[in-house]
């Protein structure tokens, strides 16, 4: 054994050839009940490789719960999941990560006291070769080079890779969180409100990142309230209404008012 590097994950490598799957991630007919609250009744979404899918819904529609079931953080009561064309059943977020599904959480899930490099590799650390690696010693040089490359690939500029990320701005942290997810995700990247804390220009940058990621052959699923911006960047739209998928449609066919109408009024239409 000459290398302690973790061979099972594609550390920062850009897949050159077309990915060998059609459906990046999909959840069909997902249901979940918390006590007396039916958070999800019949939620479905499908993200194909190379596609940005927007998941819209009013507050309380079950978007976050749905995202968490896709990541294995919550176990649903019913429904099935497909990742990279294969049916899966995740027991934890680690299972999702092993299948190349990564997330950008709304709170970013970064460790403020760790450096940019350490944050990029948290949970996927590279160990030195040989004896030192067997003792758990990190290969920070290699980690720094790969983190630098991964950030460059996405045109993300940070002042230094060695600073604690508590020294970074909100936009920089957001970009870092996206870069980390892209670095380790090789099937799909799920983003929960990636533009919520950002100014106009950062939001545009993050939306560009979504496209960049999709162009690499990954599936991108983005939960957002930023309808105009995300509608522009998305290929398809899925709208959740009270735990049920109300609409799956190409984004080009939709306008913001139509999306809003479906988000808040789907049930009324159905009843009428």
Partner 1 sequence: MSTAISPKSKASEPEIDPDLRAVKPQSLMRRLFRSTGSYILVLDVLLIIAFGFASNNFVFWSAQNVQALLINGTEALLLALGLAMLLGAGAFDLSIGSNLVLSSVLGASTIKALAGAPDAAGNYPNLGVAIALGAVVCVATGVVYGIVNGILIAYFDINSLIATLGTMGVGTGVALVITQGGDITGVPIPLQEHFGLASFLSIPYPTMIAVVAAIALFLLLRFTRYGMRTLALGSERTSAERAGIRVKPQLVSLAAIAGGLCGIAGFIDISRYGSTAEAGHVQDPLVAITAVVIGGTLIEGGRVSIIGVIWGTVLAVVLQTGLIIIGVPSFYQLIAVGLVLIIAVGIDRYRVRHRGDR
What residues make contact with partner 1 under the rule CB under 8 A? 93-94, 97, 103, 105, 107-114, 118, 122-125, 127, 135-138, 140, 159-160, 163, 166-172, 175, 199-202, 205
Handedness of CA 173, 175, 176, 178 (dihedral sign): positive
The nearer residue to partner 1, 79 or 171, going by C-beta atoms, is: 171
- Write down the least CB distance from residue 251 to partner 1, Å: 25
Q: What whole-number distance in Å separates Cα of residue 26 and Cα of residue 270?
A: 25
With beta carbons less than 8 A apart as the criterion, state whether 64 and 243 touch.
Answer: no
- Write down the least CB distance from residue 196 to partner 1, Å: 14
The nearer residue to partner 1, 23 or 189, going by C-beta atoms, is: 189
- Write down the least CB distance from residue 242 to partner 1, Å: 27
Q: How far is CA 161 from CA 112, 155, 158, 168, 175, in A?
A: 13, 14, 7, 10, 13
The nearer residue to partner 1, 44 or 172, going by C-beta atoms, is: 172
**Between the CA atoms of 123, 124, 129 and 130, what dihedral angle is there, to the nearest 10 degrees?**
50
- Write down the least CB distance from residue 173 to partner 1, Å: 9
The nearer residue to partner 1, 117 or 254, going by C-beta atoms, is: 117
The nearer residue to partner 1, 209 or 239, going by C-beta atoms, is: 209
- Write down the least CB distance from residue 204 to partner 1, Å: 10
Residues in CB range of 270: below 8 A, 6 or more apart? none
């Amino acid at each position: 054994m000459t290398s302690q590097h973790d061979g099972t994950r594609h550390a920062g490598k850009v897949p050159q050839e077309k990915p060998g799957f059609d459906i990046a991630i999909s959840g069909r007919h997902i249901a979940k009940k918390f006590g007396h609250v039916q958070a999800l009744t019949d939620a479905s979404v499908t993200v194909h490789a190379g596609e940005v899918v927007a998941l819209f819904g009013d507050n309380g529609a079950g978007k976050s719960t749905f995202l968490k079931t896709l990541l294995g953080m919550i176990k649903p009561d019913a429904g099935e999941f497909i990742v990279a064309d294969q049916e899966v059943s995740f027991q934890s977020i680690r299972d999702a990560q092993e299948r190349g599904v990564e997330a950008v959480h709304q709170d970013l899930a970064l460790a403020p006291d760790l450096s940019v490099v350490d944050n990029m590799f948290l949970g996927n650390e590279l160990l030195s070769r040989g004896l030192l690696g067997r003792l758990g010693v990190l290969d920070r040089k290699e980690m720094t080079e790969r983190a630098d490359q991964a950030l460059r690939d996405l045109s993300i500029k940070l002042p230094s890779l060695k600073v604690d990320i508590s020294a970074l701005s909100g936009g920089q942290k957001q970009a870092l969180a996206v870069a980390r997810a892209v670095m380790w995700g090789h099937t799909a990247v799920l983003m929960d409100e990636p533009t919520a804390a950002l100014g106009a220009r950062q939001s545009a940058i993050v939306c560009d990142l979504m496209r960049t990621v999709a162009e690499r052959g990954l599936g991108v699923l983005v939960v957002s309230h930023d309808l105009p911006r995300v509608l522009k960047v998305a290929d398809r739209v899925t709208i959740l209404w009270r735990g049920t998928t109300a609409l799956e449609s190409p984004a080009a066919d939709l306008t913001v008012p139509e999306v809003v109408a479906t988000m808040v009024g789907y049930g009324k239409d159905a009843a009428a």
